[in-house]
Chains A and B, each alone.
Chain A
Amino acid sequence: MSEHGAHSSKHTLIALVENKPGVLNRVASLFRRRNFNVDSLTVGRTHKPHISRMTIVVDTQRTSARIVAANLKKLINIIDVNIVSEHPHVSRDLALIKVRTDDVDSRNAVTEVCDRYPARIVDIGTKVAIVEITAQEDIVESLIEDLRPIGIVELVRTGVVAMGRGIRIMDTDYEPPVRVAAQNGLERYGV
């Protein structure tokens, strides 16, 4: 089921969090304090302005994904947590890889490697090119290994984002409350 393969000790968790300042700090602090091993953590907005979504890949050799999830749930600003890797899911990592292209051989090699992957060359010059790939983490990793001999000079990855397949929907019906006592200040919240 897991896209990480049977022997992997990695798990992917999704957290829906209140879009408030400091929430990322609370999550980071939790992981450091509990000595959980984080592979990657991404955070971004959702289709609801008051909800952000985190995808967290953890190494669960020492701590089970359930313990990690239970600890995340304890944070007041975290609305829901789901171990997405326990069920069929789609996961994607995006990488920009800058490689050397300062001779014919390297230029040909880059094009040839990219043809074997869902990757694109998004910038190319006489010295370097930027390769972009959006794929499952292991495919991204494999591309990086194939480009390495040619000469990687810079690399950036977004970290994994993931979503459960099918009708398993990770959402919340939470709406921020309209606060009676705060009526005078409502305009500050855009209400």
Chain B
Amino acid sequence: MMLTGAEIIIECLIREGVKVVFGYPGGAILPTYDAFYKYRNQVHHVLVRHEQGASHMADGFARATGQVGVCIATSGPGATNLVTGLATAMMDSSPIVAITGQVPRAAIGSDAFQETDVTGVTLPVTKHNYLVTDIHELAYVIKEAFYIARSGRPGPVLIDVPKDIQNEKMDFVYPEEPVRLPGYNPPAGATEQDVQDALELINNAKKPIILAGHGVMMSGAMQQLRELAERAGIPVTLTLLGKGAMPEDHPLTVGMMGMHGAAACNYAIQEADLLIALGMRFDDRVTGNLKTYSPNSKKIHVDIDPSEINKNVKVEVGIAGDLRTVLSQVLPGVKSNSHPQWVGQIRDWLEDGNERDILNNYTGTKLLGAQVINDLWRYTGGEAITVTDVGQHQMLEAQYYPHRRPSTMLTSGGLGTMGFGFPAAIGAKFGMPHEEVWAIVGDGGFQMTMCELATAVQENVNINIAVLNNAYLGMVRQWQEFFYDERYQSTPMVNPDFVKLAEAFGIPAMRVTSRDQMAESVAFARNHQGPVLIEYVIEKEEIVYPMVPAGADLHNMIRRPKPGEKEGATA
């Protein structure tokens, strides 16, 4: 069959099962857009308003479904606008394939109009990238790109396709043979010795704790994790991206660890005699000062990426492998056990946290961010897919919206990309059309990508947007309050009227200023098909507690004082 390079691109996307792509046209990618016209009944193209949005949508789609998300852009500025989204996906191991147009081969290197060295620019923020130089390579490259993106430790892959290759024709046969890459062999399972070493530690620990991360969900090891925890009686603490790895209402799930994690979890990590780290990577946001990190514990680390083992934290047993496979190997040897005293100790710490919890002590009248999130949890039955932006509201979501199901809390953890939440929520909804999807965003981050309101309207995407408006870059303001003597340089914001703004896009909107409107606001959002925006006007100077200051010891948290205690007490 004689096909153009552009048609081959789409034939290959269809073979990969792609039904929706997020993109923006331009000169160097126009032949492919013409092919999208031809295939418009097979692949739906979502026109975004900024290519960054396309990359986050592909990412949100990927995180929600576990499938590869696809975004597409033209050369030069189109491609460079994808970079933030690629870096975001890279840091959080999210599988996306980005296709960019490039100037014709003959013009490469001549500083042609809209020419950028896109493979050069994106090299450090992609798992792999390609510049296609021959139409006969095109189908293989696309097949490899999808394979690389979704296998092993997933990540973004970019394919740069010169315009003349998109126009060229060849007699096309789809390459049915499986991808074979000599230098790419994601590790499979553990050796017998690894299994024995791990069991020795697991079966003899007195104060063990499991640190569960994103990898649990990527590998589909939720059941195995739960079995391990239940059989050996080991409490589980979650990373930010690990939320959903274990139901948060499970009696052994003790909460989130790290900078804004539950103090109980951080104390437990510091006190433990065994850390079992599963599909997490000891990011500085969860370890604090590495020199004093969990000083008395032996450590087991399982991760699909061998370069993560012993990178930040030295471990006794390091296993590079697929978590579900490894846990299945380990489970038969795990002895039935319980650690009532240890779990009781953690419960006591949790109780102390409850006594400090603002939800249990607040006497003011202003609406709190914590209340908004907790009520969203309550009125959505804890069953929504929430997609957050970055800042205080993100940490509040992590603290006050417990999730029961995997991949229902999507957030930019590694890169902390403001502007991620809203477009990623659109992508998630495309992937999971039958789920209730809420974008939970701050007033700052929302303004970075709010142009996608137009996309949401054009596509009639049925999502709910909760803007937590504190008129501040709240998280930065919090740092300024703690560490810069309340010098609020460049954090107060004069904001647009978000309700009017939404209405200008044709989006129903509501402003909420007090807690008794919370139930109504959720009902309002649910009653509208298509995008809805709710602005929650919240307390301006709320603080997210506890907080491990950057670089501090994990147990040296700034805690919220108990009623009657003095402000600023640390424990």
Interface residues of A (CB under 8 A from B): 17-18, 22, 25-26, 29, 33, 64, 66-67, 70-71, 73-80, 172, 174, 177, 179-182, 184-186, 188
Q: Which residue in chain A gives the minimum CB-CB distance to B305? A: A74
A25: B residues at CB distance < 8 A:
120, 123
A66 CA to B180 CA, complexed, in Å? 25
A67 CA to B172 CA, complexed, in Å? 42
Q: Which residue in chain A gives the minimum CB-CB distance to B174? A: A181
New A-B pairs, 6, CB < 8 Å, besides A174-B182, A180-B177, A181-B174: A29-B124, A33-B124, A73-B183, A76-B148, A182-B140, A185-B170
Least distance between B162 CB and chain A CB atoms (Å): 14
Chain A proximity mask over B159-174: 1 for CB below 8 Å, otherwise 0: 0000000000011111
Q: Is the CB of A77 within 8 A of B183?
A: yes
Q: Is the CB of B136 within 8 A of A179?
A: yes
> Which of B62-70, B221-229, B306-314, B432-440 is the interface stretch?
B306-314
Least distance between A188 CB and chain B CB atoms (Å): 6
Q: Which residue in chain A gives the minimum CB-CB distance to B309? A: A70
Q: Is the CB of A67 within 8 A of B136?
A: no
Least distance between B161 CB and chain A CB atoms (Å): 16
Chain A proximity mask over B162-200: 1 for CB below 8 Å, otherwise 0: 000000001111110100111110000000000000000
A184 CA to B310 CA, complexed, in Å? 48
Q: Is the interface of A mostly helix, strand, loop or mixed?
A: helix
Q: Is the CB of A185 within 8 A of B135?
A: yes
A72 CA to B217 CA, complexed, in Å? 26
Which 8 A-B residue pairs are closest in the complex by CB-CB distance?
A185-B136, A182-B136, A70-B307, A174-B182, A79-B183, A181-B173, A70-B306, A181-B175
Chain A proximity mask over B491-505: 1 for CB below 8 Å, otherwise 0: 000000000000000
Q: Is the CB of B123 within 8 A of A18?
A: no
Contact of A26 among B123, B173, B175, B307 (CB under 8 A): B123
**B356 on the A face (CB < 8 A):** no
Q: Is the CB of B140 within 8 A of A179?
A: yes
Q: Which residue in chain A gives the minimum CB-CB distance to B172? A: A181
Least distance between A74 CB and chain B CB atoms (Å): 6
A25 CA to B129 CA, complexed, in Å? 12
A169 CA to B124 CA, complexed, in Å? 32
B127: A residues at CB distance < 8 A:
76
Interface residues of B in 383-428 (CB under 8 A from A): none
Least distance between A10 CB and chain B CB atoms (Å): 20
Contact of B183 among A29, A33, A75, A177 (CB under 8 A): A75
Least distance between B233 CB and chain A CB atoms (Å): 34
A71 CA to B311 CA, complexed, in Å? 10
| Residue of A64, A177, A181 contacting most chain B CB atoms (<10 Å) | A181
Contact of B307 among A18, A67, A172, A184 (CB under 8 A): A67
B135: A residues at CB distance < 8 A:
185
A80 CA to B131 CA, complexed, in Å? 23
Q: Is the CB of A71 within 8 A of B307?
A: yes
Q: Is the CB of A172 within 8 A of B182?
A: yes
Q: Which residue in chain B gives the minimum CB-CB distance to A77? A: B183
**B42 on the A face (CB < 8 A):** no
Contact of B173 among A73, A77, A180 (CB under 8 A): A180
**B567 on the A face (CB < 8 A):** no
Q: Which residue in chain A gives the minimum CB-CB distance to B148? A: A76
Q: Is the CB of B123 within 8 A of A179?
A: no
A22 CA to B311 CA, complexed, in Å? 27
**B139 on the A face (CB < 8 A):** yes
Least distance between B267 CB and chain A CB atoms (Å): 30
